[in-house]
Amino acid sequence: MPPSDDPGTDVPEPEEAPIDVVATVGALDPTVMLLREFLHRSGAIRAIAAVELEDDMAIVDVGRLLPVEVTIGARIVHLPHALQLDAAVLMVPEVKQLPAFDVDPSTGEVSSPLGGLEHYAIAVRQLAQILGESNVAIASWETTTEDVPLSITARATEDVLVLSIGEEDFEMEPGWPVDTRATDQE
């Protein structure tokens, strides 16, 4: 192939480091199981946890029909999505699948089944609380607008949730939503 007149086209792209496929991530196995079960029960397209370790941060990323990706520092490993792990099972928040929401990223408007957004917000807050400490939980769902997911982010130690519609973030009021399920059952 003759050299190109464009000097930038002859420069080889840097190679990415190979990603190891592993059968366990040790102490993070329960987190993998929790996120995977949350993803399946809720119908989410992605569930992520940022977990503080003794000397580093770990990102556990569970996507629908994708390998589980775990990043600790600069190291990235994959686990097969359906791999059975030998770990203690953490309590999974009560969550059910809902139809895709209608969203408007420019205004932050979400149309959903009555109470649907609140249902997912409570579940993600509980997910963050199960992860504990200052850990973070993020879950994303498909919407009726292609390539514009709806995501909810919660930190165990904070009372404010962040709702994301596509690339737009909306910080919700502290305490929203109020979980009235326990009082409704009394």
Task: Give residue 56's pLDDT.
Answer: 93
Peptide bond into 149 cis (omega under 30): no
Beta strands in 19-108 (DSSP E): 20-21, 46-52, 57-63, 68-72, 75-79, 102-104
Task: Give residue 10's pLDDT.
Answer: 65
**Sequence-separated (6 or more) residues with CB below 8 Å from residue 25:** 32, 60, 70, 77, 79
User: How do 75-79 and 20-21 pair as beta strands?
Assistant: parallel
Task: Give residue 41's pLDDT.
Answer: 97
Q: Smallest Cα–Cα separation from 124: which of 166, 86, 76, 176?
A: 176
Q: pLDDT band for 106, please (50, 70, 90 cuts).
A: confident
Rounded distance between C-alpha atoms, residue 90 and residue 80, angstroms: 20
Segment 1-33, tens digit of pLDDT: 455 555 556 666 667 778 999 999 999 999 999
* SS3 label, residue 183: helix
Q: Provide the residue type at 157 as one letter.
A: T
- Judge whether residue 131 has pLDDT over 90: yes
117's enclosing H/E stretch is helix 116-131
Q: pLDDT band for 113, please (50, 70, 90 cuts).
A: confident
Task: Give residue 53's pLDDT.
Answer: 92
Q: Provide the residue type at 105 as one letter.
A: P
Task: Give residue 185's pLDDT.
Answer: 52
Instruction: Count CA within 13 A, CB hemisphere, residue 7.
Output: 0
- Angle (CA) 181-185-186 rounded to 5° is 125
Provide mean pLDDT across the span 117-140: 96
Segment 133-175, tens digit of pLDDT: 889 999 999 999 999 999 999 999 998 999 999 999 999 999 9
Query: Among 30-44, 119-133, 167-181, which stretch is predicted with the lowest mean pLDDT?
Result: 167-181
Task: Give residue 86's pLDDT.
Answer: 94
pTM of the model: 0.87
Residue 177 sits at φ, ψ, to 5 deg, of: -85, 160
